[in-house]
Structure 1
Amino acid sequence: MNNRIEKLIDLGNQVEITINEKQAEKLIAYMDRLLEKNQYINLTRITEKDEFIKLHLLDSLTLLKLIKNSQASILDVGTGGGFPGIPLAIMLEDAQITLMDSTKKKLNVVQSIAAELGISNVQILHGRAEELGQNSAYREKYEVVTSRAVANLTLLSEYCLPLTKVGGQFLSMKGRDYQDELAAARKPIAVLGGKIVEIEKGLLLQSDYVHVIMNVEKIKPTPDLFPRINGKIKKEAFPV
């Protein structure tokens, strides 16, 4: 077992995430392949491996404590380099995970690495959330929708809640200074059919949290109006 595999397992134990040797090997192999590809296509700004382990791998895995069903259908919105979707796929072999992004090149790279490593429970979905959310093939089809995207919570909720099945969860990873976003998003989340059930602290590093996780339960169908087209979402206030 190499040093980084041992380190990942040890760091997981420290934050109460149990990672076995096979899982750790695959997580580290994914990191290595992704960083190789990152020389040619921008997949991550974090290129130092010890930082990558903490800020991509472990941070993604903090969602595990909130995912109720290990066999869930999971949609990762704005997956980029495959986070949190790929780490979740490695840990939840019985889950079906869809990696969604608007940049096809990134999806193709992530898909090729997953195939190379035998991560067989993932598929890619190229498109924009506001368009897919109005498509009956995807609307309210996923038990868990995740996002580590940088958009504000009101915007993310309009992207993600229409894709979340009633009875499912929308898990949004937000920065430490989330209070103003949360205050602004409470009414829109309710209109979109969601209910904030808890705010969980994510990965603890050096006495501070990388993310908090907004756990939003989908309690009723999203009105047909939502999601609005991208220009309206970004330029117009949420109609509450």
Structure 2
Amino acid sequence: MHPTAPPLRRPLSDRLLVRRAHGGLVSMGALFAVGLEALRFTREVRTWFWEFVDQCAFLIRVTTLPVIMIALPLGATVALQVGDLAGQLGAQSATGGAVIVGLVREVAPIAAALIIAGAGGSAMTSDMGARRIREELSAMEVMAVNPVHRLVTPRMWAASLVSTMLASLVIMSGAVGGFFFNVVLQGVTPGAYFDGALGLLRISDLFVTLLKAWLFGMISALVACHMGMNCAQSPIGVGRAVTRATVVAFMLIFAFNYVITTIYFLAFPPEV
């Protein structure tokens, strides 16, 4: 009889890859479980309203100026580049439409969410990590207070609201920057600048933009809180959690943006 063959073992690199993929799926499942738990407690507004107000004030304070400083030169740069190309094609009056449509459809929700994730999200992760180090989260659980309900729910709704307002601010600031360079420096009439945008935009574009900004802000806050509440109990662990939260939030924002934009363009093809 032939001896029993030894069982085949996967290479070490394959085992590490499988382990990391399994850990990533488990972490993603835990992230969405925290989000659903936070949304489930939304109806108890009286218990988290003032924390929501404080978080809104904090996010507005740390994100408004950076968003304006980003949107103004961004709109001006797009106007200069598109205006130069459109001038060579004899369609310089279409620059305003290209600038504002790009701002409304793609730039505004992503820029607002990235600022929320970078400036506000890092502060949320640090705050949650500090609470974990000081055992405040465990103390809340001992007192029968759910940390997700009391801390994550108001931060998610605050980030979503502020992100939606920031998206509107990005559109206005970018349009002002594009208007200055396209009208003042390149000689396009104001009527032609805005007429091109109004001819290409639809009401549904604005609704989808605000929906994306709202969703991206909520995702940014959820990732920040989850990473901070599960970081290693050391200052180094908090720092790593901040970096990890920012990277994961950026990845999820771009992934959801691709999915939403694809579905929207399939449902409502752009008009020519």
TM-score of the superposed pair, with normalisation by structure 1? 0.22
More helix per residue: 1 or 2?
A: 2
Higher RCO, 1 vs 2 (CA within 8 Å, ≥6 residues apart) = 2
More strand per residue: 1 or 2?
A: 1
TM-score of the superposed pair, with normalisation by structure 2? 0.20
